[in-house]
Amino acid sequence: MQLYLSHLCNAFVLSALLVPLLSRQAYRIGLVDSPNARKSHLGKVPLVGGLAMFAAVILTSLTLDGVMTRYSVFFFALTILVSVGVADDAIDLHAGIKGLAQAAGALIMTLWGGLIVVNLGAILGPQAVSIPNTGVPFTIICVIGLINALNMMDGEDGLAGGITLTALFWLLIASWLGGAHSSALVISIFAAALSGFLIYNLRNPWRERAAAFMGDAGSMMLGFALAWFAVDLSQGERPALTPVTILWIFALPAIDATLVILHRLAHRRSPFAPGVDHLHHALRRRGFSVQKTVAIMVGGSCLTGALGMGGFWLGLPEWLMFALFVLLVGIYAVTVSHLRASGDGSVAASQARPERRRPRTRYSLRRHALIREEAPVFAFLKKPHHDSKAQN
């Protein structure tokens, strides 16, 4: 146990050290997020969180016997996604390129890694629902959907990271109690690395705004990791979780992304177009601060995970848990609709109630002045200037 904890400390410390180190270089190569009409942060913020977490996970895993070998397919797919994510953070790739990378990662996971959703559990009655003939395309859709759902959550400081941390916590508990100790080890390494990054991403009394963002590299990496272990733990002969429990663990990002896409399609808008129709936008329009908005949503994610795990441990029928999940979707839809309606015509909270800037702390990642707007090495992949990156 002591050795186990030391590896987690290594991942945490490496991530916490790499964020400021990489931030210094980020300003020089253009790996920064600049404020615009849709982004209210002040100044250019380094997009190095994903790269720092990835490096911390890889370096820590290299010190563990058998981890890199056992999860070689996982880390190979992860490397592809992080590489494309870093390129996108640097020069804003076309959405199609990112989609291809996500599909490639999902294909590697299913066809090479052998992780395929073929059993949906007894969600419609006493008999389990099996999809052996459509398992591969269904899994690919789920993987891509979860990656993008988490990316859509990355709209407030610490929100995507906090929700991911709660999901990793429940997956860690389930894998450990289910005897999947190797999965528990890798999941805990991801959680430790994410915690090291959140030091710079979460707002607190000593930090008025995020000093670093995870970027698309981070959201794609974490989304894919969640998808991998969700399928790994819910399928097979001795699953540690039921598929419906996974729904409860991922409830907030999954429901929010699904309803937003349906809302945009209903209004004849592209589901990937920029917008302010997520729950965190609605809460901000109602006057909640960033910290309170994040606390509400992370707390809600933790609660849904606890309800799902509680139902699993109590042995409640899967069809009942699925019916309750459908009820949750309805409650969520009505709540968000009410918040949107009550917020129509109002000024966004970030504009109506501007937050007063506190004096700078002695150390700030924004103190560097040497900035370059793009990395020329990726310039041939850059999409036209007028098609700016959508913030979900």
The answer to the question of residue 349 being in a domain is yes
Concatenated DSSP letters of 257-306: HHHHHHHHHHTT--TTS--S-SHHHHHHHTT--HHHHHHHHHHHHHHHHH
The answer to the question of residue 302 being in a domain is yes
16-74 pLDDT, tens digit per residue, is 999 999 999 888 888 888 765 455 555 689 999 999 999 999 999 998 888 899 999 99
Encoding tokens for residue 196?
Answer: 């090291």
143-191 pLDDT, tens digit per residue, is 999 999 999 888 888 899 999 999 999 999 999 999 899 999 999 999 9
Nearest alpha-carbon partner for 115 in 232, 242, 287 = 232
CA dihedral 232, 235, 240, 241 (to 10 degrees): 100
Contacts of 273 (CB under 8 A, 6+ apart): 264, 390
Domain of 59 in residue numbering reads as: 2-381
The answer to the question of residue 352 being in a domain is yes
Q: What pLDDT is recorded for position 371?
A: 36
Q: Under a CB-based contact definition with an 8 Å cutoff, are residues 261 and 126 in contact?
A: no
pLDDT grade for 265, boundaries at 50, 70 and 90? confident
The answer to the question of residue 239 being in a domain is yes
CB atoms within 10 A of CB 345: 7
The answer to the question of residue 120 being in a domain is yes
The answer to the question of residue 389 being in a domain is no
Encoding tokens for residue 171?
Answer: 């997956």
The answer to the question of residue 144 being in a domain is yes
Q: Of 75-84, 206-215, 272-281, 316-325, where does mean pLDDT reach its minimum?
A: 272-281
Per-residue pLDDT for 378 more than 80?
no
Contacts of 3 (CB under 8 A, 6+ apart): none
Q: What pLDDT is recorded for position 305?
A: 96
Query: How many domains does the chain fold into?
Result: 1
Per-residue pLDDT for 252 more than 50?
yes
Contacts of 108 (CB under 8 A, 6+ apart): 73, 76, 77, 80
Per-residue pLDDT for 346 more than 80?
no
Phi, psi of 366 (to 5 degrees): -95, 15
Q: What pLDDT is recorded for position 153?
A: 87
| Beta-carbon-side half-sphere exposure of residue 20 (alpha carbons within 13 Å) | 10
Indicate the pTM of the whole model. 0.85
The answer to the question of residue 69 being in a domain is yes
Per-residue pLDDT for 368 more than 90?
no
Q: Of 122-136, 155-169, 262-276, where does mean pLDDT reach its minimum?
A: 262-276
pLDDT grade for 380, boundaries at 50, 70 and 90? very low
Cα Dmax for the chain: 64
CB atoms within 10 A of CB 99: 15
The whole-number average pLDDT for the span 297-321 is: 95
